[in-house]
């Protein structure tokens, strides 16, 4: 994953790079150099809300997959390099998306544009035969999305 960290840092020299990742999947692979140089925005959801959503998709989920341990680890790593960290409630994004996104953009120093609120589709990529069942379970809502839901 060092190549990914280097590529992200190089690309960020010339343009804005946005990476969204679940903490438990991404945190172990993010280098300290990337953490030190990036601007971070944490979007949290109530654990009970996460539980209610996750239990439907994966009744046997692990503590790691629940994500809060990794999220705290990521937050603590960011605290080593930065004193101002933006943290937002995911429910606010759902309930008042435009205002929340405008506030988030302001917090991380980028301009807000209403085009951020809508997109053509959430299609990720064509799933390989062995991925179809598992990925459709996780990504059906995302791939059908046209905005923040």
- Domain map of the chain by residue range? 2-117, 119-149
43 three-class SS:
strand
Burial string for 29-50 (b: 16+ CB within 10 Å, else e) reads ebeeebbeebebeebbbeeeeb
User: For the whole model, what pTM was predicted?
Assistant: 0.79
Q: Which residues pair with 147 in a beta bridge?
A: 118
Instruction: Spell out the alpha helix ranges (H) of the chain.
Output: 2-14, 23-26, 32-37, 47-57, 63-66, 68-79, 90-95, 97-108, 132-144
Q: Which residues pair with 41 in a beta bridge?
A: 86
CA separation for the pair 146, 74 (Å, rounded) = 29
Residues in the chain: 149
The share of the chain scoring above pLDDT 90, in percent, equals: 35
Average pLDDT on 23-38 reads 87
Where does the pLDDT of residue 134 fall: very low under 50, low under 70, confident under 90, or very high at 90 and above?
A: confident
Q: Give every CB contact of residue 48 below 8 A, 6+ residues apart in sequence.
A: none
Average pLDDT on 85-89 reads 90
Average pLDDT on 9-17 reads 84
- In this structure, are residues 98 and 117 in contact, taking their beta carbons and an 8 Å threshold? yes
State the DSSP code for 41. E
């Amino acid at each position: 994953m060092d190549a990914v960290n280097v590529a992200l840092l190089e690309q960020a020299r010339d343009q804005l790079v946005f990476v969204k990742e679940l903490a438990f999947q991404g945190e172990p692979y993010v280098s300290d150099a990337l953490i030190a140089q990036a601007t971070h925005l944490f979007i949290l959801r109530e654990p009970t809300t996460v539980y209610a959503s996750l239990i439907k998709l994966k009744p046997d989920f692990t503590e790691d997959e629940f994500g809060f341990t990794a999220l705290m680890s990521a937050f603590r790593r960011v605290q080593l390099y930065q004193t101002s960290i933006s943290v937002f409630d995911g429910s606010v994004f759902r309930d008042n998306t435009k205002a929340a996104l405008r506030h988030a953009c302001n917090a991380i120093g980028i301009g807000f544009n209403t085009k951020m609120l809508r997109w053509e589709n959430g299609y990720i990529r064509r799933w390989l035969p062995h991925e179809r069942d598992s990925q459709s379970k996780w990504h059906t809502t995302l791939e059908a999305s046209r905005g923040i839901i």
